[in-house]
Each structure stands twice: as C-alpha cells, then as structure tokens.
A and B are shown apart, each in its own frame.
Chain A
Amino acid sequence: MFTVGAPLVDGAVPEGPVTERWERRRFSARLVNPANRRARSVIVVGTGLAGGSAAATLAELGYQVTSLCYQDSPRRAHSIAAQGGINAAKNYAGDGDSVWRLFYDTVKGGDFRSRESNVYRLAELSTRIIDHCVAQGVPFAREYGGLLDTRSFGGAQVSRTFYARGQTGQQLLLGAYQAMARQIDAGRITMLPRTEMLDLVVVEGKARGVVVRDLVSGEVSVLLADAVVLATGGYGNAFFLSTNAKGCNATALWRAHRRGALLANPCYTQIHPTCIPVSGEHQAKLTLMSESLRNDGRVWVPREAGDPREPGNIPEEERDYYLERAYPAFGNLVPRDIASRAAKNVCDAGRGVGPGGLGVYLDFADALRRLGKPAVEAKYGNLFEMYERITGEDPYQRPMRIFPAVHYTMGGLWVDYDLQSTIPGLFVIGEANFSDHGANRLGASALMQGLADGYFVLPTTLGDYLARGPFPEVERDHPDVVATASAVERRLTALLDVKGTRSVDSFHRELGHLLWDHCGMERTESGLRKALEHIPQLRAEFWRSVMVPGTAEGLNPSLEKAGRVADFLELAELMCLDALHREESCGGHFRAESQTGEGEALRDDDRFGYVAAWEFTGTGEPPVLHKETLAFDNVRPSQRNYK
C-alpha cells in the first residue's frame, strides 16, 4: 500500500541548547536591505491568524505582498470563531508558570509527537504575542486594577490563558486584519478577496506562484512571486460534520502536496470534547462550546444505562461525574483527547443523554450556586446564549448537552524549523503545517501558534530565503506556468462535464461518515482497511455521477464545492493509510489494538517515535513514507497520566 523512502533530517534546526536555538537562528538569518525589500514579492494564501499576521508583518518590513482569501473579506477567516483564549508564559498570575513549563506542558500534551525545537520557540515567543496584541488594541479581559486577567484551560495547572470574553479568536483576528488594512491602504498589500488558490506554480524546483480563480467572475489567472506562503488552515472538513467553517478546505494543501510537498501525520485529527451534539441528518455543521466552560461546569452522566429521567430529577448519588472520578488531579480539565474518549466510552456503554444517546451533561448548577448568576453570565454569557439559540434549551435551568466533534487537524504539510516545506520557496504556517502540536493539541495553543508563526517566525525565516536569491523573473509563458494553469482549467471543465445525478454534498456526507466511523476517535485495523476499500470506489462514483450545475463563468458555489470535495476524496485515503500504518495509540488517536490494562491509550515510542511524511506518487498509487525521527532531549517521554 506504500513504500518507505529516505528518512528526513530535521532541516534547519540550529545546534545547541533548546533554549538558545531560536536566538541563534535569528542571528544567522541573512537580512534583506530595506531598500531591496520592495523588489521582493510574496503571496500569502489565507487571512486567518497565521496568514493575516504574516501578510501584515511582511508588508510592515517592506516586502510587496499579495494576499488572497476565498471569503468576501479577510476578516471572515475561521480563526474568528475561536472562543477560549491564547496561552502565554507571562506568569502574571504568579502561580509558577514559565517558558519552560509551557514548553513542557505542550510537548507532553502533544503526546511526544511534536518537535522539541519548534515547541520551545513557540513558548518563548508566546509572551511577545500578548504584548503586540495589546499594543494593537485587542481588548483582552482585565482585572479591576487594570491589569490583564487570565484563566486556566484543559491540560494545564496554571492560569496562563489570556481571553476576550468568549471571542478571543475574533479579537485577535481583527487585530491582524486591521494591521493588514493599514498595509493595504499603504499599497504594500494587494488584497484579493473571493479568490481561491487552485494550484501551485513550481518553476525549476521552486515555488514561484499560484493559479487562482476569481470566484465572482470565474476567471482563472496566474499570480507570480518570489515565494509563496500557505496559511490555509486545516482539513477537518474532510469529515463533513466538523466545527470548521463551511468553506474551509484542503485544496491549497492538497495541490501543493501533488506538486511535491510532503504531507505529515494526516491521521492526527483533534476531536474536541465540548461541542453541541448532532440534532439530525440535515445538519450542515457542528458548533463548539469553548473548553473554558469546563473550568466551572461539571461533566456527568446517569449511573444507570438508559435512565430516562430529566437531569434535574436525577439525585446526586445516581450521577457519575466520570472525569472527576477517573482523573482526580485534573478532573474536568483533563486534555481534550482524554475528555473526548471518556465521553465516547460512557455513551458506548449506553449512558449517554439526549437524542440518540450521543451526549453527556455539562452542568453549571454548582457554579450558579457558588458564584451566582451574574458572575456566571459575565464569564460565559455569550456561550450560554449561543447554546440556547441552537438547542432551544436554557443552560441556566438545565445542564447543557455536549459531545465530541472534529475540530482541528494537527497533521499538515511537512515543514522544517524555518517553516519551509520540501518545495523551496513554499512556506506553510499555522494549522496548515504539522510542526508544533504533535498528536494532540492543548487548549489555547492554536491561536498561539498561528500568531507566533505569522508575526515573529516567518518574517525572519522568509527574509533569510529572500536574501539568498537570485530570483530571475518568471515569464508568464514559461512552460511550467502554462501547464499548471491549463491543468486547472481542464479540471474545472471535467467537473462540469460529468453532468450526473448526485449532488456534491451527498458525496461529501458519505465520505464524512466513512472517516468518522473508521478514522475518528477509535480506529481498528479492519475498520481502516474497510475505509481504504470504500474511498477509491466513492471517488470513482464521484467522477462518474456528480452533478455540478452552472458554468465556469461567474459565481458558482457548486463548482467551488465540487473541486474541494474532489480533493477531500483523495486526502481521505491518505488519512486512513496513515492511521493504518500507525499501530500505536497516541493523542486522540486510539487504536483499539494498542491499549493499557486500564483502557488508556498505549504509545509505542520505539516503533512510532517519528513524524510520518508522505510523498505523492499519483492518485490511488502507493505513496512513499519518509520518516523524521523525533528526539526528546529535554522532556523525557513518559506515559501521560492525568490521574
């Protein structure tokens, strides 16, 4: 099903103690003279926390930036929906936090499948993110003394999460968006909204541009530059139902992968424990409730399977606060993978609540008694409102029902320490790369990574690349440019020409079910083999009988969706293959065949202590597996234990 190729060496990581590596890299990075920067051009695809902050900062430095997003405005990137907060090792709470502790927690939280060097740098830069965002006017929550407030989050025992009510992602994104707006006005960013990247232009082995489609006019064109940055988020929408925005897609990643960029750990999907359960077949997407709710909410199910009573009629002694019982040290604040699987287990045992038994209670009755309604409302009011709006139930009166859902993908394009992919000149940042989170992501760490990459890391490492040149001008009629653009046109025509009878959504839904059942929270060898058999059949069926109405000219949402689902149908196969080959359980990825006597995930460091980076060889052809061995010199791998 695959072959094993040459191992990957962790490129570009500086020597020396982990605490000094970023400083050394910064010093060794070549600089571009300010007067020469305006002659260098960069394309940044995506305008979320990573892409927006990168575009703004590169433009501030003086580079010519072209930024594009599929939405109607860069302010709508899905980072805007992040609720809970952003971590930083400020130790403002005085509770013993430090850069080292944030580094330690993050490596451990990632179940020893992330890179020490990258994670240390992330922890180190975290403090500067807060400083910068405050200077931009991000209205973080404050104490009465005027200083910044913090709270704690899953997987941490210190209070290091900065937040802006339940809308932290929105406020951080608007900060980056406004920084971009300033540069757009100054003429250093050319902003192309409603524009989708459909392929990567590689000339003489280097990334030199992208092929895009103007989603309003339908026009396909080529944008050329000295370097390309992908900041396009994750591929969780492969599952159809997820907490991702409907438009989030994997096309940019998958096209780059097809052009030679390795794709790492595609089977690492974070399943978030606190989402609103599915209400029916018609459902288009799922909504996440911030994990911060677990600070005060208590998770429970009835002790007896199939207990039909209303939650208020179930006495204390007949409830099972299963997280507090099984994990006394962390209680309701265990990491996401642990909380998700625990919820799945109680539901599998028939003790789930709500329609279909796929839900557990998140109960604020104690908090309301202890703190009073105004205090609970001040902290979580908007989340409670959102819950009520969607379910029609009032969480002040009745516990919320929650269930795990696909949320974030830790896999992504492989990058070196400089955030450069295996294609020179192609940089990948934020959720789109694989580098920092390992097999699991702790709460409030995704926003941190997006902004660290965009504001601080990329501007240094990309500058080093741009200083190296030369960058001879690429002619528009260069054979590689022409070939890439016409491949895009052919593909659009092919999608329109199928003229079958099935809607794009029906294929997407079917693929999503396959992935959730066989490549979700619990995987088995036989399930994965079944999925690997079905996916190519579904893909063939798609190209035989999909119906894409309309034409390639003008606004055509069906055509946009069809292209994205066609890519998901290829990516999904690689996700399952990656899951099949990783016979250990790690992070949220539980292989039923690999568990401890107590039913906890059992890692196998000797056999799988590596990053799996896949090379594309053709649709449906066996890919090549390249391994990057992970070294843990500073945090010794241990069985994670949150008891």
Chain B
Amino acid sequence: MRFTVRVWRQREENSRGALVDYAVEDVSPDMSLLEVLDQLNERLTSEGEEPVAFDHDCREGICGMCGMMINGVAHGPQRATTACQLHMRHFTDGQTITIEPWRSSAFPVLKDLVVDRSALDHIIEAGGYISAQAGAAPDAHAMPVPKRDADRAFAAAACIGCGACVAACPNGSAMLFTSAKATHLGLLPQGQPQRYTRAENMIAAHDDLGFGGCTNTGECTQVCPKGIPLETIARFNADVLSSALRDHRDED
C-alpha cells in the first residue's frame, strides 16, 4: 500500500507549525499507523532531516501515551482503538492521512505531535485517590464488595488517561477523564469516606487547569478508546452537586 501522510510539524512550543506532506510506500496492511511513522522517520533520518516527534510507548493500547488526531478524529476512525492499535488494513490504498496533535488550551504542543498532558495528572493529585497508608490494611476479605459494584468500578477504572476525550470535546472539557476516576473510587466501599471531598476537589482542579465545562455533547465517549460510558459523568455530577448540600468539610 502507499499513502500520503500529512503531518503537523512544529519545532517547539512557541514556534509556528504547518502541515507537511510525505509520501510513504511499501506499507503492509498489517502495520500499525505508528509503524508507518517509524518507517517515515527512518527515511527522514537517513536524509539528515529531523524525524516527526510523537508520543508512544507500550504500543499495546494500555499506557495511554500515544494520541493524535487522525483525519480529524481523536485516535482515528476505528471505534474503541488507540492510535498504536490502528492498523493500515483499515485505510484505503492511496489515501491521504492527516495527522495532527491534540488541540486544547490545557494541552500545549511541545513539538510536532507531542503535547503536554500533565494537567490530567494534576486533577488526580487534587483528590483522585483513596488515602491508605501502606502496611496497615485489614484483611482483603474483611470488606466484601458486590460483584456488580466491582465490575462497574472496573469499567470506569479502565481509563488510560490519553486525553482523547479532551481533544474531541468542543468545550475542551476533561469531564470524562475526571468522572471516570471519581466513579471508579466512588462505587467502592473503600472510596466512600472521601467521596464528596474528592468530587469537589477534582472538579475545582479541573476548572482551574483550563479545561472547559461539560455540556453533555457526548463526543468524548465516541472517541474513548476504552469505552468509558457517559453515565460516569452523570454519576460524578450527582456527587459534585450533592457535595454542596452536605456538611462534609471535616471529612479530610
């Protein structure tokens, strides 16, 4: 197969970027899109040109490090698939593939396709945890958890923090990410003591970090590679709203 890859090239955070076309040939349908970029990069390198910088690591769809707009869609056209697991058999021979970085004011572009997503870490730091000191836990069987709750908590916990939800959201909101974590912890009995302060602190950090508000457009769930359901946002909103009615200031 052969393709034209149209890639966003930007030297550094404060320089101007532009889309540049590259022809790639001898592409096997079994290759992933990132392997096509690897192949392009080897060629650019041998020609003494700087290769395209992009974030990637596990290439198994679980670390959440890769992420790019592919033909205008976060992680590309395949549903529930990260960019690293997107294989060329899903494209048409001869096609032009446009690749751009995540665009969000909370995610500055560092170079080419690489963006700074540390704002997502700061949301977790604001409260996305259960305060448990190592070494003092009771026996794991001391607190049974209904299977249904554990399974639903797991479904929310599957979030890989890639930021596709932010990239797809017309408001640049990180609500799907934030609510996935709050839902994971809030569904488990262990997460109850900090449930409402967690919601309040996480939403405050979310807003402070420059993410937009959520208007339930649902674009986020369309591109989420892990299929995090929109219901998590409703659940989180319920916690945020009811936290305002609760006297929980002394919880933490």
What is the chain B residue whose CB lies nearest that of A138?
B157
Across the interface, A547 reaches (CB within 8 A) one of B48, B135, B191, namely B48
Q: Do A143 and B121 have beta carbons less than 8 Å apart?
A: no
- Contact among A245, A246, A389, A456 with B87 in the assembled complex (CB-CB below 8 Å): A389
- Judge whether B85 and A390 touch: CB under 8 Å: yes
Give 1 or 0 for each of B59-83: 1 = CB within 8 Å of chain A CB: 1111111000000000000100100
Question: Which one, B143-151, B214-222, B243-251, is touching chain A?
Answer: B143-151
Does A141 lie within 8 Å of B50, measured CB to CB?
A: no
Report chain A residues within 8 Å CB of B32. Answer: 284
Produce 1/0 per residue, A49-76, CB < 8 A to B: 0000100110010000000000111111
Of the candidates A139, A165, A283, which one forms a contact with B35 in the assembled complex, judged by CB atoms under 8 Å apart?
Answer: A283
Q: Indicate whether A164 reaches chain B with its CB closer than 8 angstroms.
A: yes
Kindly state whether residue A404 has any CB partner on chain B within 8 Å.
no
Q: Which chain A residues in 118-177 approach chain B with CB under 8 Å?
A: 128, 130-137, 139-148, 164-165, 167, 170-171, 174, 177
Contact call A73/B118, Cβ cutoff below 8 A: yes
Alpha-carbon distance A73/B55, docked complex (angstroms): 11
8 Å CB contact of A177 from B61, B65, B117, B124: B124
Task: Establish whether residues B57 and A505, one from each chain, have CB atoms under 8 Å apart when the complex forms.
Answer: no
Contact of A135 among B28, B31, B137, B158 (CB under 8 A): B137
Residues of B contacting A145 in the complex (Cβ-Cβ under 8 angstroms): 144
Does the CB pair A135–B38 fall under 8 Å?
Answer: no
Q: Are A146 and B145 touching (Cβ within 8 A)?
A: yes
The stretch among A437-445, A550-558, A628-636 that forms the contact with chain B is A550-558
Q: State how many angstroms separate the Cβ of A280 from the closest Cβ of chain B.
A: 5
B30 within 8 A of A: yes
**Complex Cα distance A179/B141, Å?**
21
Q: What is the CA–CA distance of A6 and B111 in the complex, to the nearest angstrom?
A: 51
Q: Are A246 and B57 in contact (CB-based, < 8 A)? A: yes
A135 near B35 with CB under 8 A, answer no
Stretch from A181-189, A314-322, A360-368, A527-535 contacting the other chain: A181-189
Closest chain A residue to B78, Cβ basis: A389
Partner of B137, one of A81, A131, A139, A506: A131
Given contact pairs A246-B57, A284-B59, A557-B51, A178 touches B46 in the complex (Cβ within 8 A): no
Residues of B in contact (CB 8 Å), total 79
Of the residues B60, B63, B134, contact of A53 by C-beta under 8 Å: B134
> Out of A74, A181, A288, A390, which one reaches B129, CB within 8 Å?
A181
Asked if A80 is at the interface (CB within 8 A of a chain B CB), the reply is yes
Question: Does A247 sit within 8 A of B, measured CB to CB?
Answer: yes
Contacting pair A245 B57 (CB below 8 A): yes
User: What 1/0 flags go to A85-105 for Cβ under 8 Å of B?
Assistant: 000001010000000000000
Q: Within 8 Å of chain A (Cβ to Cβ): is B188?
A: yes
- Within the complex, the shortest CB–CB distance from B11 to chain A, in Å, comes to 8
| Contact partners of A524 in chain B: CB under 8 A | none
Q: Is the CB of A167 within 8 A of B110?
A: no
* Cross-chain contact A139 with B150 (CB below 8 angstroms): yes
Please encode chain B, from 32 to 43, with 1 for each CB lying within 8 Å of some chain A CB and 0 for all others. 101100110110
B53: Cβ under 8 A from any A Cβ? yes
User: What residue of chain B has the Cβ atom nearest to residue A382's Cβ?
Assistant: B158
A459: CB under 8 A from chain B? yes
- Docked-complex contact A181 and B89, CB < 8 angstroms: no
- CB <8 Å contact, A505 and B134: no
Check: A287 CB closer than 8 A to any chain B CB: yes
Give the chain B neighbours of A247 by CB distance below 8 A: 57
> Which chain B residues border A80 with CB–CB below 8 Å?
58, 62-63
The listed residue (A128, A174, A184, A284) touching B135 by CB distance below 8 A is A128
In the complex, what residue of chain B is closest to A134 when comparing beta carbons? B140
Nearest to B112 among chain A residues (CB) is A555
Q: Which residues of B contact A132 (CB under 8 A)?
A: 132, 134-135, 137
Q: How far is the CB of A617 from chain B (nearest CB, A)?
A: 34
A-B contact count (CB 8 A): 220
Q: How far is the CB of B135 from chain A (nearest CB, A)?
A: 7
* Complexed CA–CA distance, A550 and B52 (Å): 11
Contact A185 B63 (CB under 8 A): no
Taking a contact as CB atoms under 8 Å apart, the answer to whether A131 and B138 are in contact is yes
B154 touches A130 (CB 8 A): no
Given contacts A75-B64, A76-B64, A550-B50, contact A179 B145 (CB under 8 A): no
Neighbour of A184 across the interface among B89, B125, B130, B185, CB < 8 A: B125
Q: A136-B132, A279-B30 are in contact. Are A181 and B125 (CB under 8 A)?
A: yes
CB distance from B200 to the nearest CB of A (A): 14
Residue numbers in B under 8 Å from A501 (CB-CB): 46
Residue B105 at the A interface, CB < 8 A? Answer: no
User: Are B55 and A72 neighbours in the complex by a CB distance under 8 Å?
Assistant: yes
Residue A285 interfacial (CB < 8 Å): yes
Please state if A142 and B150 are interface contacts (CB–CB under 8 Å): yes
CB distance from A311 to the nearest CB of B (A): 19
| A-B contact list, 30 entries, CB within 8 Å | A57-B134, A57-B135, A73-B118, A75-B124, A76-B63, A81-B63, A135-B130, A137-B191, A139-B154, A139-B157, A139-B188, A164-B157, A165-B154, A167-B158, A178-B124, A282-B35, A284-B32, A284-B59, A285-B59, A287-B60, A288-B60, A389-B81, A392-B30, A456-B135, A502-B46, A503-B45, A549-B45, A549-B51, A556-B50, A558-B50
> Which of A's residues lie within 8 Å of B, judged by CB?
53, 56-57, 60, 71-76, 78, 80-81, 90, 92, 128, 130-137, 139-148, 164-165, 167, 170-171, 174, 177-179, 181-182, 184-185, 191, 193, 216, 245-247, 279-280, 282-285, 287-288, 386, 389-392, 455-456, 459, 501-506, 547, 549-550, 554-558
Q: Which 3 A-B pairs have the closest CB atoms?
A: A146-B144, A178-B129, A135-B137
